Structure 1
Amino acid sequence: MALKPTLAALLFSLAAIHGIVVVAVDAAAAAVSRGGSARRIPAVFAFGDSTLDAGNNNRLVTAVRADHPPYGQDFPGGAPTGRFCDGKIMSDFLVEALGVKGLLPAYHSGSEVLSDADAATGVSFASGGSGLDDRTATNAGVATMASQIADFSELVGRMGAGKAGEVVNKSLFLVSAGTNDMIMNYYLLPSKYTLDQYHALLIGKLRSYIQSLYNLGARRLLVAGLPPVGCLPVQMTLAALRQPPRPQGCIAEQNAEAEKYNAKLRKMLTKFQSTSPGAKAVYADIYTPLTDMVDHPQKYGFAETGKGCCGTGLLEMGPLCTDLMPTCTTPAQFMFWDSVHPTQATYKAVADHFLRTNMLQFDD
């Protein structure tokens, strides 16, 4: 079915790097990050948006899809899978580093039937364009966070009580959501909320989803806040459309608002941990490493951080990033693949950061 994408629909493919929640019942990643041997994590389950979507949107009637070239050109086999990237995404690098398996597949890929054995070692339920606010997902025609968690509950039922007890309680859970809500609702559409009110709504929703995972057995949570939203190429382009010319650097106001949200998130996590027996809720700072990539690109081998590799790199994403568009010859030297989504080089650096730092806090 041919879709006629609008600017709003295209922008719903935003799955900018943002809040990553890791729920772990094992400190294995800490040992991995130190190069030591770790008790094996049996499975990894991912929830959220396109930063973790491995192809769940392929089955949906939505413009927010990446199951076409040039997406996937650097993925093993060189074919698009539905990942919003030139190659692997962060969850793929994490499962490989933790020794679980080589890639984290989509629960609803639409192209192949997921075996019970593969599902038992982890899958992604994430849906590109989703967010903490249900309106973000429904307006984009993608899966809400609640429906993703419902899919996980269904999978637990398929496993059976015995198998689920062995797997779920020792698994690693990843959740990434929040940036689409800010960009697609607060910054793009008329809102009845003040900034503080919308932050409160999002953090309240996030706490509810964390509680749902806790009720399903999750006990150790690693929760990252928003990224430097004002550094996304598409945000700088939209700023230029409102008031030319295009900013030479990141949008300072949006970055400051992301930091404000992150401070509120840290307080929520502290309270959640104090009222949830057995839970450990750790805030993961994703804002700082991504800002460091922008400020010191040479450290990461980047030559370009202000635009994506696909097309002009200023607005292309999802259905606008096609094989009719030229792409850069060296994606590994670009921080962004399209105007929103990182390259696999960026995802690899972010995954390494989490393994080196945040997972260590579960060693206490």
Structure 2
Amino acid sequence: MSPNSLPWLLLLQLLLHLAEIAAKVPAIIIFGDSSVDTGNNNYIQTTARSNFKPYGRDFIGGQPTGRFCNGRLATDFISEAFGLPPAVPAYLDPKYGIKDFASGVCFASAGSGFDNTTSDVLSVLTPWKQLEFFKEFSGKLKAYQGEAQAQETLSEALYIISLGTNDFLENYYMVPCGRRSQYTVEEYQDFLIGIAEGFVREIYQLGARKVDLAGILPMGCLPLERATNPMIGACNEMYNKVASDFNGKLQFSIEKLNRELHGIRIVYSDIYQVFLDVVRTPSTYGFEDAESGCCATGIFEMGYFCNTRSVFTCQDANKYVFWDAFHPTERMNRIVADQVMNATLGIFK
């Protein structure tokens, strides 16, 4: 190597290093439902809350935070995997400020869905109200970091959207005179996909360029749906097919948005398959129970029906796929996060 080539080699190494730095995710920004709500519902008028024990018993410090889990959520583990804080703060939690939110912020609301009427069922934050809070946060971020740095943070941040399950289980199938009287299930899927597309276009206009749209899990295998299935104990395969078909339409929509929105990178997180694999062969993943939750009887309970007065609550949640009748345990959330990071989100590291 000639001496003259050394400066060029050093310059190339510097450029590669800068490119690597630029590719890092400086913040996680979350929209969604109880699968990703880290405590926003604690601060609105709703019964959809979990800010009491035994929720949070395995969380950092052993305190309930409003997460519908015994510990951390998948998004908390994803944040940690990107070298960010191990717990993403809820935007409405007064304990946190813009300094905390600059590296991760959650706008999600348990009970929410793409459809506004889903959020109305339990009086929680619609996606559009979550978007309003995001706009407020963006203004605070620009005041804190300065316009240029804030714009870079917003464009390099990873936006995670996790919605859809409640639209079917808490709305379409639970309110017979509502959406079910207006749409076939296929039409309702298309209706929701249209809303999802509109939401992505909105955050794109506000600076989002790295977006993760999570599919919905095999909702027919949730403990509550197993318990209410006429074939008691078996997964409700009709619900699973609805989820699978919706996920297929979501993936098609993602391909379209990636073509149409210049500079964006939208990925799909396959939550469905990882849950199905674990539920079918729980022992392969070290679980003993995939049919009921740890809390109370684990069949019907969640929220206020999952409390410390129940003598049935299990001692070791790590043996269970589900924490309550609807939500996974911290251990299952870690498995989901690891799978998503390896299969999908690793491209952003």
Is the contact between residue 162 and residue 215 of structure 2 (CA under 8 Å) also seen in structure 1? no
How many equivalent residue pairs?
321
Aligned positions of 1:184-203 closer than 5 A: 184-190=170-176, 191-192=180-181, 193-203=183-193
Q: Per-residue deviation at 1:39? A: 5.1
Higher Cα Rg, which structure: 2
- Asked if residue 212 in structure 1 is aligned to residue 198 in structure 2, the reply is no
TM-score (norm 1): 0.85
- Asked if residue 153 in structure 1 is aligned to residue 135 in structure 2, the reply is yes
Match of 1:42 among 10, 13, 26: 26
- Asked if residue 103 in structure 1 is aligned to residue 87 in structure 2, the reply is yes
- Report sequence identity in percent: 39
Q: Per-residue deviation at 1:282? A: 2.5
Q: Could you report, residue by residue, the CA deviation over 1:241-299 in whole angstroms, capped at 9, with x for unpaired residues?
A: xx4x52x3211111112111111111111111111111222222211111000111112
Which structure's relative contact order is higher, taking Cα pairs within 8 Å and 6+ residues apart? 1
Is the contact between residue 219 and residue 239 of structure 2 (CA under 8 Å) also seen in structure 1? yes
Is the contact between residue 40 and residue 100 of structure 1 (CA under 8 Å) also seen in structure 2? no
Query: Who is 1:28 aligned against?
Result: none
Q: Could you report, residue by residue, the CA deviation over 1:28-53 in whole angstroms, capped at 9, with x for unpaired residues?
A: xxxxxxxx999542111111101111
Q: Per-residue deviation at 1:162? A: 2.8
Distance 1:362 1:42, change over 3 A: closer
Is the contact between residue 40 and residue 99 of structure 1 (CA under 8 Å) also seen in structure 2? no
Partners of 1:40 and 1:362 lie apart in 2 by 7
Q: Per-residue deviation at 1:362? A: 5.3
Q: Per-residue deviation at 1:164? A: 1.6
Distance 1:70 1:163, change over 3 A: same
Aligned positions of 1:191-270 closer than 5 A: 191-192=180-181, 193-239=183-229, 243=230, 246=232, 248-270=233-255
Query: Who is 1:32 aligned against?
Result: none
Q: Per-residue deviation at 1:329? A: 1.2
Match of 2:326 among 340, 347, 350: 340
Q: Per-residue deviation at 1:237? A: 1.9
Q: Per-residue deviation at 1:361? A: 4.9
TM-score (norm 2): 0.88
Query: Who is 1:80 aligned against?
Result: 64
Deviates more, 1:249-258 or 1:145-154: 249-258
Partners of 1:197 and 1:64 lie apart in 2 by 28
Q: Per-residue deviation at 1:302? A: 0.5
Query: Who is 2:9 aligned against?
Result: none
Q: Per-residue deviation at 1:220? A: 2.8
Query: Who is 2:44 aligned against?
Result: 60
Q: Could you report, residue by residue, the CA deviation over 1:209-229 in whole angstroms, capped at 9, with x for unpaired residues?
A: 111111111123232322101
Partners of 2:171 and 2:78 lie apart in 1 by 30
Distance 1:186 1:74, change over 3 A: same
Partners of 1:40 and 1:312 lie apart in 2 by 43
Whichever residue aligns with residue 358 of structure 1, its letter is T
Q: Could you report, residue by residue, the CA deviation over 1:103-141 in whole angstroms, capped at 9, with x for unpaired residues?
A: 1111112xx332221111111110000000001112211
Whichever residue aligns with residue 175 of structure 1, its letter is I
Is the contact between residue 23 and residue 156 of structure 2 (CA under 8 Å) also seen in structure 1? no
Partners of 2:140 and 2:204 lie apart in 1 by 19
Deviates more, 1:280-289 or 1:294-303: 280-289
Is the contact between residue 111 and residue 124 of structure 2 (CA under 8 Å) also seen in structure 1? yes
Query: Who is 1:289 aligned against?
Result: 274
Whichever residue aligns with residue 178 of structure 1, its letter is G
Query: Who is 2:105 aligned against?
Result: 123
Q: Per-residue deviation at 1:67? A: 0.3
Query: Who is 1:318 aligned against?
Result: 303
Q: Secondary structure at the match of 2:62?
A: coil
Deviates more, 1:329-338 or 1:257-266: 257-266
Distance 1:360 1:95, change over 3 A: closer
Query: Who is 1:166 aligned against?
Result: 152
Partners of 2:125 and 2:306 lie apart in 1 by 22
Q: Secondary structure at the match of 2:60?
A: coil
Unaligned runs of 5+ residues in structure 2 are 1-19
Query: Who is 2:314 aligned against?
Result: 328
More helix by share: 2
Whichever residue aligns with residue 258 of structure 1, its letter is A
